[in-house]
Structure 1
């Protein structure tokens, strides 16, 4: 009886359904040699390779399959998915554009296009393309989920939650939308709901990587550190190469526990492709692990590798930052006066500003330990309300700004008299904030820029605004720019800004808490001098540190990596940072 291609195809599919991808690829290659004119088997080789974790090799077989079967939508889709899985987003996008002109089933192509631009870090375009996908197919759960991610990336938390709910309703067995909903729910201070949906996702699939990761993060945020550590370990069991899992666990558990983690981390580093995004976090984790061990030179090599990889995909635009500064300075020139009236509603805002990693989280925890004050974390609202003014010609309307700011606040507990917005980047927007909220306290936290640089160098920040943190010279440029911003604001509104040094806060937290209470018009309470007891959630890189209690261990920490941080110090402006250069001269004597 003559061999029939269908018999081979059935055998190959059985192997793939059983998860035997190498055997399936081998059988498909044999069938391909036997039936060289059958594009079916080129496609099946590609499928086996892609599902077996080798999308790069699969691309060639899908391409060959299309030459034999031009116009086959299944092979076209498989090729696009392989390109996306291999990180070749631009090539995938180019192919999608060609196919959109030819094919009628546009929903899946718009979805793929949204995925491509998600990988390219363009959430606005993801939003557009995912919306086109759900318009073409209102039952496409994957597209709603992806649009929800775009909304979440853009800070549209309520819209994100609505899309994740729609995706889950369309496909109740998919844990991804539930897991993804955890982040916007958390940002809206709906912590119990966030934990509930992630636990529901884990009930659907206990080894679901995204859910394990989100659950660990949520537990750490609410101070359930031991449980968070257990979840991180479960995550690494499910995915032994999860870069963020390693990096976050190393910052969460003790140095002794991290020493036991080192062999697994070294294995992950060796087996993960060198240009994989996971390498950013794997190198970061190893750098911090070695730093804990005191192996500073080795730590520096890994930290440098991590930041170099991150900088390649997220370059810093110094020119754009300079243009923004000049535009804002022109909007609020010296001689500007604050309006006689403005938003004075309750709860009133308290703004804590400074460089990232300068002590803004600690300050927020001191303030929100007061029973009348609630923590709102780092609100991105000022940055979202200003682009049309700063980058365009839209007029600044303080009343409209204040109304929009309040409209987008997370839920504030009933009875709260004030809320803290500790977004460090708000040092750029002091003029906007004071004109909108003329009575709002502005608290500026300063810290030795070398300690700030070391802390940023040892962290990873997802915000595009913080692309400067991946390059020491870019970090120095931004530090200089920050100093210029604050010099301007102090010249214009100096009497409205309280400046505290991080060193003074950690050296005498009780005295600092008295100063903060008095400046913000609060009656001092003893809990303000013990911020580690504050149960407010922490959603920043300080999530573990603030639970340790106030200490001075990090003061002068930069000295351990002084030679490695020298490019940063050399690029600082001595006129802006005289204390740094006086310090260097003193040490050199």
Structure 2
């Protein structure tokens, strides 16, 4: 702050700016915030507020500039630095966000709350090991809230310490019996057995919870316990009892997260109409990304673990960096389907060379010294054309699984308040049809753009299938890829416990356990083929 700056005058400007924001007078608020920063260049709060105002005006790129300027002159104010990091991540400025977090990590004797905040942000960046180390310190420093223990349990789970995760979750439920997050994760982590299960615990808790007609928060918790009940009964082989619990869970989640079929069709139609340009052969310096795309629950995590067992490959996990950089280069504020439709509409004007360069600049650190790093985000199936044009040298692997197995695996996954297609059988079939339309279009319009990898072949004939995948990626065959269960790297996915097993075929035909109940899904999928 300049010596001549009057703090009271700045506060008056800030108050006026807030009033303009509340009145949706964004241009006036912008002018006042810019005046504050001109007088006090180190005012981080004003920089963040200015970024928010520009963002609300639909100016994504412009909203990044005050944040990057602020990142070069960080104050000794941990909460403001945390807020800055959150804003930087939202704009795809991962490198600057990590630098700010590195500086924050130098703070002596941080309180538990600050350690938890840092752990959450490192986790959001996919840095599981760093996040877990922070939570180790946070727990030792007194972190004890249920959400903090839940985060710690997940990080233990993703790091491979299943027993440790279970102990933390069991303690959660002893102290907070209605904590649905803990119940759901605990049910997933352990296979329930006749001699050891929590069936009565889940039923008793459901009896205590508010009715299904309660508000959204109560309905979500009830859905979590219904899921825990389903998972337990399913493990016990009591399928006729398990299915009603899954139906109740998904009916609640479908009510909370309705599926927008019209938006799904609009995006697929727009992608199919988008001009497909000839794919170049450009290369770049530094590590190369390998994209794994497809439907969720199609085996993408298994393929990720197999490939990242190779000595030249590491996994970046499920990162949304390409999606973020695409929005930034197109200067389109993220807005779900509406935002993607906007990008598709201006796809001919996008600077694809800049998109590829920006993506690499913000992600190559994830390679950790290896030659390749895996970007495993199934939803990137929608962005294949953009990826090919921005990163023509990057392999794209498309995981393909039998539709009924894929859909049933989604239906019983309980993704939380995301993936709304997964909570209703009709929505599932509709979503899968749009996915298949798009995959066929990419193959027809861009032959060779992505390699199909059959889940059935991968688990039944692993050596031959893995060899074909490695050859496609320009990698030599290594025996370690046949033993993904020995891969000790963290894996941040709900199936992290299962993918630490050796390659097996138990996932084939699982839907047949509920063949009668899933007949409407089978018919809906078959109708889409006719």
TM-score scaled by structure 1?
0.68
**1:395-442 deviation digits (Å, cap 9, x = unpaired):** 222111112212332733443111111111111111111111112212
8 Å CA contact retained: 1:357, 1:452: yes
Deviation at 1:223, TM superposition (A): 1.1
Q: For residue 287 of structure 1, what is the aligned residue in structure 2? A: 230
Q: For residue 125 of structure 2, what is the aligned residue in structure 1? A: 188
2:297 equivalent among 353, 357, 362: 357
Q: Distance in 2 between matches of 1:460 and 1:355?
A: 15
**1:61-112 deviation digits (Å, cap 9, x = unpaired):** xxxxxxxxxxxxxxxxxxxxxxxxxxxxxxxxxxxx89xxxxxxxxxxxxxx
Q: After TM superposition, list the pairs within 5 Å mapping 1:248-327 onto structure 2.
A: 248-256=185-193, 259-274=196-211, 275=214, 276=218, 277-327=220-270
Q: Distance in 2 between matches of 1:417 and 1:470?
A: 39
Q: For residue 65 of structure 1, what is the aligned residue in structure 2? A: none
Deviates more, 1:377-386 or 1:543-552: 377-386
Deviation at 1:167, TM superposition (A): 13
Q: After TM superposition, list the pairs within 5 Å mapping 1:377-526 onto structure 2.
A: 377-387=317-327, 388=332, 390-392=341-343, 393-394=345-346, 395-409=349-363, 411-462=365-416, 464=418, 466-526=419-479
Deviation at 1:186, TM superposition (A): 2.9
Q: For residue 104 of structure 1, what is the aligned residue in structure 2? A: none
Deviation at 1:297, TM superposition (A): 2.2
Q: For residue 560 of structure 1, what is the aligned residue in structure 2? A: 513
Q: Distance in 2 between matches of 1:375 and 1:463?
A: 25
1:222 equivalent among 150, 159, 177: 159
Deviation at 1:538, TM superposition (A): 1.3
Q: Are residue 337 (structure 1) and residue 283 (structure 2) matched?
A: no
Unaligned regions of 5+ residues in structure 2, if any?
1-21, 24-55, 68-74, 333-339
Q: Distance in 1 between matches of 2:173 and 2:476?
A: 47
**1:301-338 deviation digits (Å, cap 9, x = unpaired):** 111111121122221111112111222222234xx411
> Structure 2 vs 1, CA of residues 386 and 328 (structure 1 numbering), >3 Å: closer, same or farther?
farther
Q: For residue 56 of structure 1, what is the aligned residue in structure 2? A: none
8 Å CA contact retained: 1:189, 1:410: no
Q: After TM superposition, list the pairs within 5 Å mapping 1:93-172 onto structure 2.
A: 159=97
Q: Distance in 1 between matches of 2:411 and 2:461?
A: 27
Q: Distance in 1 between matches of 2:76 and 2:285?
A: 43
> Structure 2 vs 1, CA of residues 263 and 181 (structure 1 numbering), >3 Å: closer, same or farther?
farther
Q: Which has the larger radius of gyration?
A: 1
Deviation at 1:494, TM superposition (A): 2.2
Deviation at 1:379, TM superposition (A): 1.8
Q: Distance in 2 between matches of 1:151 and 1:471?
A: 36
> Structure 2 vs 1, CA of residues 418 and 203 (structure 1 numbering), >3 Å: closer, same or farther?
same
Deviation at 1:475, TM superposition (A): 1.0
Q: For residue 205 of structure 1, what is the aligned residue in structure 2? A: 142
8 Å CA contact retained: 2:179, 2:221: yes
**1:320-369 deviation digits (Å, cap 9, x = unpaired):** 12111222222234xx4113x43433311111111100001111111111
Deviation at 1:520, TM superposition (A): 0.8
- Compare relative contact order (CA 8 Å, sep 6+) and give the higher one, 1 or 2: 2
Q: Following TM superposition, where does structure 1 have runs of at least 4 consecutive aligned residues deviating by more than 6 angstroms? A: 138-158, 163-171
Q: Distance in 1 between matches of 2:503 and 2:445?
A: 33
8 Å CA contact retained: 2:101, 2:118: no
8 Å CA contact retained: 1:255, 1:293: yes
8 Å CA contact retained: 1:283, 1:306: yes
> Structure 2 vs 1, CA of residues 343 and 242 (structure 1 numbering), >3 Å: closer, same or farther?
farther
8 Å CA contact retained: 1:514, 1:524: yes
Q: Distance in 2 between matches of 1:153 and 1:454?
A: 32
> Structure 2 vs 1, CA of residues 474 and 156 (structure 1 numbering), >3 Å: closer, same or farther?
farther
CA RMSD of aligned residues (A): 3.4
Q: For 2:476, what is the secondary structure of its paired residue? A: coil
